[in-house]
Structure 1
Amino acid sequence: MPADPTPPEVVRARLEEFRARRGYVLPHQGAMAAAMPDLQDAYGVMYKALTLTERHLDPFEKEFVWLAILTAAEEHVGTHHVDLFFRTGGTGPQAEAVFRLVAWARGAETFGFLDRHWQGYFPEVPAARAYRGGTAALIAGLDVPAYLARLALLGIHAARGAHWPLTADLEAAYGEGVPEPKMAEAMSLAMWPCGVNRFLEACGVWLELLRSGRVEPSPAFRAWAETPGQDGFALAPRGR
């Protein structure tokens, strides 16, 4: 039998409680309050764990990456993160840095195309080197530390499902000594606006890089890389 409907006064109370706590209400909160209040409760726990809990990124680092991911995803409703960006010390020039990084990242697959299809015609222009050179030139002109620009690129690529440039920037991040926990947290933020599968795919790219031997992981991340059987549920083909 279907569950009893949520009483109207409970729906209103839930929405006002959310507004009082967060300062705004979005339409999906109402749908959950009316039909799936248990999901609304779990949603709040997940949101707090993912976006509000302080872990490896400091508040400004997190909001810088958030602004980059939301811009890449064209998630215009995330204006509370615009507010938080400025509240945590963000400036106009640093916002411009975000937009430049997103614009560059959107064109990064140009080098992936070169690598996959035309590299043999242009041996003097190695795709990965050309991409990294352009990235380095861009980062050098930004009003943010290089490591933070790199973290933003990781978040952008994860959000967009852009695996070729993600590999290039992960490898560059290791070369620059960017801490792995910061890398993981920056990429994880893509889960909220873009879905868990984008983070899953990004971690698959990362795992492949770790296993390639081209980077030197920390003991914790080496343990992840050395764990076998991370391909999900193996379903055998059905016979005719």
Structure 2
Amino acid sequence: MIERLWAKLSKSSLQPADPGAFENVPEHVAIIMDGNGRWAKDRGLPRMAGHHSGMKAVKRITIAADRLGVKYLTLYAFSTENWKRPKAEVDFLMKLPQQFLEIELDELIANNVQVRMMGHKEDLPPFTISAVEEAIVKTANNTGLVLNFALNYGSRKEMLEAVKDIAADVQQGRLAIEDIDDKVMADRLLTSGLPDPDLLIRTSGELRLSNFMMWQLAYSELWFTDVYWPEFTEAHFHEAILEYQRRARRYGGL
């Protein structure tokens, strides 16, 4: 069955596969949503148009992940390095969460989706935080797909803060050095309470992690595509899941 589905998805015109045909679906999928600006440039449009179209892809892939039974979907929405972009573009990006949630929150609630956010809130504008926190509160009791937005997130800063927190506990006598292990570190990361991603997807043809979940992705399967995020479809998502299913995850063993 998997071979037939893979052959189908490998054709030039990808079509979504039957969600019921999938087995061994990854519990947690993380996506670096890349290529909005280049997608817009190729069409003679401003970069903001690419970001707006990328917002539609967020809804599309959230629905696709939910249909397959993915339990956690983490989307890299804005990195700590993205502040280096032109102010007009940053201002536009800061408004996108508000726009997205104003349009989609009722549907997310109806579909039992729980919204979460990981990142450094202190640098975000109040209207962005307000929109995200409203969505978090209104979906807190939902038990379906967890839609986790990485917003103003950077893995190096996350790990440095975790190390400082551990060092403070050692200094204050709350933690012994010999008790520091993977769990102690993981519990202090912004993903505390979430399983590590089983699969990382990155769009647009770039082959790097870009400071995204570097601790958590240690044993994740990585899947890259040249497709820009605004044109990433349910069929492309299925293609990534099928490739994931073809791989043997040994975690260093045989």
- TM-score by length of structure 2 reads 0.31
Which is strand-richer, 1 or 2? 2
Which is helix-richer, 1 or 2? 1
- TM-score by length of structure 1 reads 0.32
